[in-house]
């Protein structure tokens, strides 16, 4: 009888030990994985944005209450960026991952999907803001940030996600969205005035790749040709593509081709030589913000600088 009681007592003790191990094991796994309120070394919710433009958006909306990491460095081509193993691992532990979507981060897609499968909260903004289709296709254009109105909508979406996935006070987020909206509207107004200095018949854009449709649509310009076909910088034009573009430029009379800071201008220079006349190659920062302290270091600066460079380029300044 005593033997039985000892066995029962021992069994109860082991049950308690096993239950404790299970509980602590579960807690340990949760701590290692993604958590909606996981904090970085700063003690603030850690948000990872795929691009510098989205990182700037999250920082302006979250303010001092959030820590923002950007996956794709400033100056890098988002179409062509591949993450390291350590960068991919960091995604799982973020409070929130903000991505562009719509195929912009072409070589990041599987990494983002894996992070989501592992429990990370990955929010793609592009599909939520009524994306444009690339001309003549049913494929969405991912470059929505070049429309200030869509970026204002994106700010509200980011605020909603931060309120849902972190403990940041909603009133703080709403106040920051209001400030962001006001400053973006000022930048858009400046861009409108600047771009309207170009006569309507000359508001024609030739670009390195098809990145300016949103900008053209918002400010009543027209993209008449691109050097690289499609919406990705990873495609390559054929000889016939370049011949057709040269003919388009020659017949339209435009005197500027707009290249990008994230890609080589060699193809644009080839087109310029084929034209047999002087034509400006103007570099824009369309897919990335500039370095801190530069005119394009914030989204608002990106919009005003892009407008100024386009107006000056088309006017021959």
Confidence of residue 7 (pLDDT cuts 50, 70, 90): very low
pLDDT above 60 for 293: yes
Confidence of residue 249 (pLDDT cuts 50, 70, 90): confident
Among candidates 58, 38, 39, 139, which has minimal Cα distance to 99?
58
Tokens 């979406």, located at residue: 157
| Calpha distance 120→132 (Å, rounded) | 28
Q: Judge whether 260 and 287 are in contact, CB under 8 Å.
A: yes
| Calpha distance 255→316 (Å, rounded) | 7
Q: Judge whether 95 and 165 are in contact, CB under 8 Å.
A: yes
- Higher-confidence residue of 274 and 287: namely 287
pLDDT above 60 for 231: no
Q: Judge whether 158 and 61 are in contact, CB under 8 Å.
A: yes
Q: Judge whether 187 and 148 are in contact, CB under 8 Å.
A: yes
Least confident of 76-80, 202-206, 209-213, 265-269: 265-269
CA–CA distances in Å: residue 31 to residues 25, 34, 67, 204: 10, 7, 19, 54
Residue 145, classified by CB atoms within 10 Å of its CB into exposed (0-12), middle (13-18) or buried (19+), is buried
Among candidates 172, 217, 182, which has minimal Cα distance to 45?
172
List, in sequence order, the alpha helices (H) in the chain: 2-32, 52-62, 85-92, 109-117, 148-165, 170-195, 213-219, 239-252, 266-275, 299-314
Confidence of residue 40 (pLDDT cuts 50, 70, 90): low
Prediction pTM value: 0.82
Residue 164 tokens, joined: 């849902």
Among candidates 36, 32, 162, which has minimal Cα distance to 90?
32
Mean pLDDT of the chain: 84
Q: What is the pLDDT of residues 101-158, one digit of tens each?
A: 999 999 999 999 999 999 999 999 999 999 999 888 899 999 999 999 999 999 999 9
Confidence of residue 24 (pLDDT cuts 50, 70, 90): very low
Domain boundaries, given as residue ranges, for the chain: 46-190, 191-314
pLDDT above 80 for 19: no
pLDDT confidence of residue 234: 54
Top-tier CATH class for 46-190: alpha beta
| Calpha distance 151→257 (Å, rounded) | 26
Backbone angles phi, psi at 223, to 5 degrees: -85, 115
pLDDT above 60 for 26: no
SS3 breakdown of the chain: % helix, strand, coil, rounded to 5? Answer: 50, 15, 35
191-314 to CATH, choices 3.40.50.1980, 1.10.10.1400, 3.40.50.620, 3.40.1710.10: 3.40.50.1980
Q: Do domains 46-190 and 191-314 have the same CATH topology?
A: yes
């Amino acid at each position: 009888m005593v033997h039985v009681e000892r066995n029962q007592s021992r069994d109860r003790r082991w049950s308690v030990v096993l239950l404790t191990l299970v509980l602590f094991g579960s807690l340990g796994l949760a701590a290692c994985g993604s958590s909606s309120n996981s904090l970085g070394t700063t003690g603030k919710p850690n948000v990872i944005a795929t691009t510098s433009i989205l990182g700037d958006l999250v920082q302006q909306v979250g303010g001092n209450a959030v820590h923002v990491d950007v996956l794709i460095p400033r100056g890098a081509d988002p179409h062509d960026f591949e993450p390291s193993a350590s960068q991919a691992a960091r995604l799982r532990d973020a409070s929130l991952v903000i991505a562009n979507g719509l195929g912009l981060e072409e070589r990041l897609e599987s990494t983002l999907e894996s992070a989501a499968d592992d429990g990370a909260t990955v929010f793609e903004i592009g599909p939520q803001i009524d994306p444009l289709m690339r001309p003549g296709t049913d494929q969405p254009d991912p470059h929505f940030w070049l429309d200030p109105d869509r970026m204002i909508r994106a700010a509200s979406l980011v605020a909603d996600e931060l309120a849902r996935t972190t403990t940041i006070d909603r009133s703080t987020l709403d106040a920051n969205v209001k400030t962001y909206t006001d400053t973006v509207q000022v930048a858009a107004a400046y861009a409108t005035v600047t771009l309207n200095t170009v006569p309507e018949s000359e508001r024609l854009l030739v670009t390195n790749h098809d990145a300016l449709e949103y900008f053209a649509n918002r400010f009543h310009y027209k993209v008449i040709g691109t050097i690289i076909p499609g919406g990705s910088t990873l495609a390559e034009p054929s000889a016939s593509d370049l011949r057709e573009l040269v003919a388009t430029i020659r017949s339209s009379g435009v005197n500027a081709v707009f290249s990008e800071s994230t890609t080589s201008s060699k193809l644009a220079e080839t087109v310029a030589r084929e034209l047999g006349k002087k034509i400006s190659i103007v570099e824009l920062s369309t897919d990335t913000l500039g370095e801190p302290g530069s005119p394009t270091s914030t989204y608002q600066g990106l919009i005003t600088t892009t407008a100024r460079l386009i107006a000056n380029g088309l006017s021959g300044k």
